Chain A
Amino acid sequence: MLQAQQQAQTTDIESRPAGTVAGRLLRAVRSGGSNSTLLRQIALVSLLLAAIFPLFGGSFFTRLAIEALLFGCIALSVDILLGYAGLLSLGQAAYFGLAAYVAALMYLHVTQSFWLVLLTASASVGVFSFLLGAVAIRAKGVYFALITFGVAEILSKITHNTRAIGGSDGLIGIPVPSIRLLPGLEIEFANNYVFYYLVLGTVCLLYLGTRRILNTAFGSVLRAIRDNSDRVPYLGYNPFWYKLLAYVMAAQIAAFGGLIYPLLRGFVAPHLFGFEVSTKAVVMSLVGGVGTLIGPLMGSVIITFLESVVGSYTERHLILLGIIFIVFVMFLPDGLCGLAQRTFGAGRKVKP
């Protein structure tokens, strides 16, 4: 009875005239509060720094920055789930890895067309995340975390033990492709700087798109679910569909990182599904600031660079990652964005 009522109410909301929804969307996008003003400034400064970075980076650090942005996509997808829907996923690497494998297999055996690869990888992740999400988001709290963790591990083991897709060795020999943007306009991935700005631009678009979507009523409902999911049905929203949509959207963002990875490194391996990749993404979003969207991307850049530099001096670099995690959990739970907020924003809270 209650459920039927909920469903009726949900459909009621969904069937409102498009004009109202668009109006709401516009209002939501325009209504940048004081919190998001600072976040926007942070995002702008980060973008400027990222834009001039290759001038100083040289080829290795430029390519490392590409990798940081790709892994940043997993962190961003963790943040959508954790910061907005209140779902802790310990298996976002599943979508990164899945897209990477689909892209690699397509490039090796089917086509050299980037757009076709993009479509296939995105569609496979879409279907998989819809099916898994429909099951996983019924579970709450730690059980959701365990299901996502388990599925990522299963995918990792399947690839590890399937000889046809390279087994434990993974697949090498993925060519460095070019994208045909328009007839006659080809973009070469072989040029590190072109590659970098292409990825930076796309990640910016993903970030802006995510921010817009989460600033609409959809984002507000997600936040309401995060804060008290039992009350949301009484407001006329069915949390299931909102969470599922957020889950599928997050998976798509992680998948973007995954599908570019083989183009950067030329190979895929079962390690891309690994628990380390998933948990590192959680640490990255924590370091940057959960629920800020820009924070996880910053966190990814910081952690990737820190690991690369520190790793050359000591083999105990994992201890450093552990210490960073503990320090942030204990003293800076709102991450670097929260710290910036307290320093520059006169004590306001970052989280909306």
Chain B
Amino acid sequence: MSKIATIAKLGVAGAFMLALAPAQAADPIKVGVVTPLSGTYAPIGKQVRWGAELVVKEINAAGGVNGRPFELLFEDEEANPPVAVRKAEKLLQQDKVDLLTGTVNSGSTLAVGQVAERNDRILVTTVSYAPSITGAQCSANVFRVNANAYMQSNALTSWLIKNAPGKRYFFIGPDYEMGRSTTSAFQNDVKRLGGTDVGATFPPLGAKDFTPYIGQIRAAHPDVIMTATAGNDTVRLLTQLKEYGILTDKLTLAGAAGAVTQENLGAMGGAGEGFLSAAGYSIDIDTPANKKFVSMFKKEFQHDPDLFAADTYGLFYLFKQAIEKAASTDTGRVRAAMEDATWQTPQGTKKIRKGDHQAVVDMVIVKVKGNDFQTVGKVPGEEAVGPDDCQKF
């Protein structure tokens, strides 16, 4: 009995110490980063990780947030929602993180967002672009600071309609859910903005031979070809279009941000020349903030940053600003401070739209030139962001 009493006393003493602990100034603000560190999406997870590590080092060196440093806790979610949810629960319930970020594929973001909601914490995605995250399936506990698919499509098509010669648009999408939905977004925007839809084709994902589709493309006499293919599919599509003589000076090539990337551009042997896409970030954005970010990033990791690193880097300044304004890490107060927040990032000024928690991001139009991407235009965030479809909060 006396033993139990001793244990109880110790327990009470322990509870007191725990209660006193948060009062200490150096108590870190824990941010859980659930991101794919292995598997197909590992390269994206690596950029997210680097972006977070760089910004946390920088903020902590400058005195942290009201004297409190950020602490990062990484978990590998394997781009697999069941794994992501398990890891997120660990971060929330075991490690008691204050905020969550890092999810890449939209399935993981939606599922982890729900876990965040049920554990009364905030998740911010810096990568997922499915419109539903801040649309039909929005949550009061989920924010997005990167450009979504709607913004990419909207910005690209509105720029093309203004700048590309010719109004005849042809669409190519890999035959699966994501390919079809990206293509239909392009088609809707083109029609809405006054272009002509002259046809669409859906080769299977991983198609080796595009010959059967090329006849249809040629017969449609397009002025612009928009593609939603990715990786090696784009390599095969564009090289075969070139071999068949379809890629002429009169034709404009454009497509999803992931269609032509630094990774597959080299394999195209010039077939990707002139390819246009819209993104929330380009490494050559000519502002002092971006130049500083790029040079620090290169120095730290001997690697170029991409949009995932830039969006993640920028997010922590939003966290800093919101926690300082809320003077606490309490979820309700941080959320209130994040809603309607305007803050500075390497991409420029970003603003959170209160209605759906989507960041309003200026879009850049980038064009492939040789082995590089060049910024050729800009679409203001307010113009690209589109309507607020969130009805849950």
Contact = CB atoms under 8 A, between A and B. Distances in A.
A and B pair up:
yes
State which size class the interface on A falls in: 20 to 34
Given A160-B177, A169-B106, A315-B76, A267 B85 contact: yes
Contacts of A271: 80-83, 107
**Chain B facing A: main interface SS:** helix
Interface stretch (B88-96, B146-154, B212-220, B380-388): B88-96
B176 interface: yes
A24 interface: no
Contact of A60 (B75, B94, B106, B110): B94
6 contacts: A161-B176, A167-B178, A169-B106, A265-B82, A271-B82, A311-B87
Contacts of A168: 105-107, 177-178
A266 B115 contact: yes
A272 B107 CA distance: 12
A272 B37 CA distance: 20
Contacts of A316: 38
B130 interface: yes
A58 B38 contact: no
Nearest to A60: B93
Nearest to B109: A169
Interface of B: 37-38, 42, 75-76, 80-83, 85-87, 89-90, 92-94, 105-107, 110-111, 113-115, 118, 130, 132, 137, 176-178, 181
B186 to A, nearest CB: 17
B306 to A, nearest CB: 19
**Chain A facing B: main interface SS:** helix
B114 A266 contact: yes
A206 to B, nearest CB: 21
A316 B42 CA distance: 12
A161 B111 contact: no
A172 interface: yes
Contacts of A311: 75-76, 87
B177 A161 contact: yes
A315 B82 contact: no
A317 interface: yes
A274 B82 CA distance: 11
A84 to B, nearest CB: 28
A312 interface: yes
B177 A172 contact: no
Nearest to B92: A60
Q: Counting chain A CB atoms within 10 Å of each CB, which of B37, B87, B89, B181 scores highest?
A: B89
Nearest to A312: B75
A66 B326 CA distance: 37
